[in-house]
């Protein structure tokens, strides 16, 4: 149970005791076990940990693509656990921008249409929508490819389009799941430059990455292991000091027997 009256107004994400259990046939997978996590507005947090430790599951829950089996989630102070499907979609469209490792562009839509698509669910005029798409494509330097299909672009270009898609909605929270994982280092750095730009513009950024060069750019790195937050480091560019660290960020626990 969460106590809403204690959620500070600068808290954008508050998870309490979030557990996710997947059931496939007769097999139970505990992807997340009792995760407590608070992220403040404008923070840049990276999430690290070995393959299968629950990073993508955590991001999917943060992005309202999935729901916890147990525990509570407040987004911008609002409980989102009991929203209807339509309400969740509405909140996601307005507050969340996604960037995935595999870009996840729609293959038979042009670059322009891919960036425009999430905006078609928003309440704005067609001319404002088109202008936002043009602005977003310009920021990622992909205006000259607006009429291309994703398959006609390199991986680096596709990810820049995916960043533009996330940018267009001007999201309160930007979630990136290994955004540089499929890119060479030059393209990876270009994508990170864009993400940092969004962060400086006020976006709250939560990024899963295996690349230490990039996780160090975050103010805070959270270590996941076996579905639990086991450690937290403050990056050297951090302006968050230990004294200002919010309480209850993580609960380090001993891991019981390993699950192979």
- The minimum distance between CB 49 and ligand ADP, in angstroms, equals 6
Contact status: 15 vs ligand ADP (CB under 6 A)? no
Residue closer to ligand ADP by CB (options 30, 41) is 30
- The minimum distance between CB 23 and ligand ADP, in angstroms, equals 8
Number of residues engaging ligand ADP in binding (CB under 6 A): 12
133-192 positions binding ligand ADP, by CB under 6 A: none
Contact status: 102 vs ligand ADP (CB under 6 A)? no
Q: If you search the block for the tokens 């939560």, which residue do you land on?
A: 206
Residue closer to ligand ADP by CB (options 146, 208) is 208
Residue closer to Mg ion by CB (options 22, 121) is 22
Residue closer to ligand ADP by CB (options 130, 225) is 225
Contact status: 201 vs ligand ADP (CB under 6 A)? no
Residue closer to ligand ADP by CB (options 162, 208) is 208
Pick from 56, 97, 104: nearest CA to 209:
56
31-90 positions binding ligand ADP, by CB under 6 A: 31, 49, 51-57
121 binds, among ligand ADP, Mg ion, none (CB under 5 to 8 A by kind): none
Residue closer to ligand ADP by CB (options 53, 96) is 53
204 binds, among Mg ion, ligand ADP, none (CB under 5 to 8 A by kind): none
Contact status: 56 vs Mg ion (CB under 5 A)? yes
202: left (phi over 0), alpha (psi -120 to 50) or beta: left
Label each residue of the chain as H, E or C.
CCCHHHCCCCEEEEEEEEEEEEEECCEEEEEEEEEEEEEECCCEEEEECCCCCCHHHHHHHHCCCCCCCEEEEEECCEECCCCCHHHHHHHHHHHEEEEECCCCCCCCCCHHHHHHHHHHHCCCCHHHHHHHHHHHHHHCCCHHHCCCCHHHCCHHHHHHHHHHHHHHCCCCEEEEECCCCCCCHHHHHHHHHHHHHHHHCCCEEEEECCCHHHHCCCCEEEEEECCEEEEEEECCCCCCCHHHCCCCCCCCCCCCCCCC
Residues that bind ligand ADP (CB under 6 A): 22, 24, 29, 31, 49, 51-57
- Positions touching Mg ion (CB under 5 A) are 55-56
């Amino acid at each position: 149970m969460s106590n809403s009256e204690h959620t500070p107004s600068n808290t954008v994400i508050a998870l309490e005791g979030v557990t996710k259990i997947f059931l496939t046939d007769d097999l139970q997978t505990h992807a997340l076990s009792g995760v407590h996590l608070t992220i403040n507005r404008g923070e840049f947090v990276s999430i690290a940990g070995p393959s299968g430790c629950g990073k993508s599951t955590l991001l999917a829950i943060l992005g309202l693509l999935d729901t916890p089996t147990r525990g509570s989630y407040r987004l911008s102070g609002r409980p989102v656990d009991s929203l209807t499907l339509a309400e969740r979609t509405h909140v996601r469209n307005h507050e969340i921008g996604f960037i995935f490792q595999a870009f996840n562009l729609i293959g038979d839509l042009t670059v322009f249409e891919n960036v425009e698509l999430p905006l078609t669910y928003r309440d704005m005029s067609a001319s404002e929508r088109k202008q936002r798409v043009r602005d977003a494509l310009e920021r990622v330097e992909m205006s000259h490819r607006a009429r291309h299909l994703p398959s006609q672009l390199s991986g680096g270009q596709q990810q820049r389009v995916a960043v533009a898609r996330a940018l267009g909605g001007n999201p309160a929270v930007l979630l990136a799941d290994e955004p540089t994982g499929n890119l060479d280092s030059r393209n990876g750095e270009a994508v990170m430059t864009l993400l940092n730009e969004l962060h400086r513009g006020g976006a709250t950024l939560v990024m899963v990455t295996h690349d230490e060069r990039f996780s160090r750019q975050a103010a805070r790195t959270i270590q996941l292991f076996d579905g639990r937050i086991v450690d937290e480091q403050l990056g050297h560019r951090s302006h968050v000091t230990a004294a200002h660290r919010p309480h209850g960020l993580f609960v380090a626990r001993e891991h019981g027997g390993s699950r192979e």
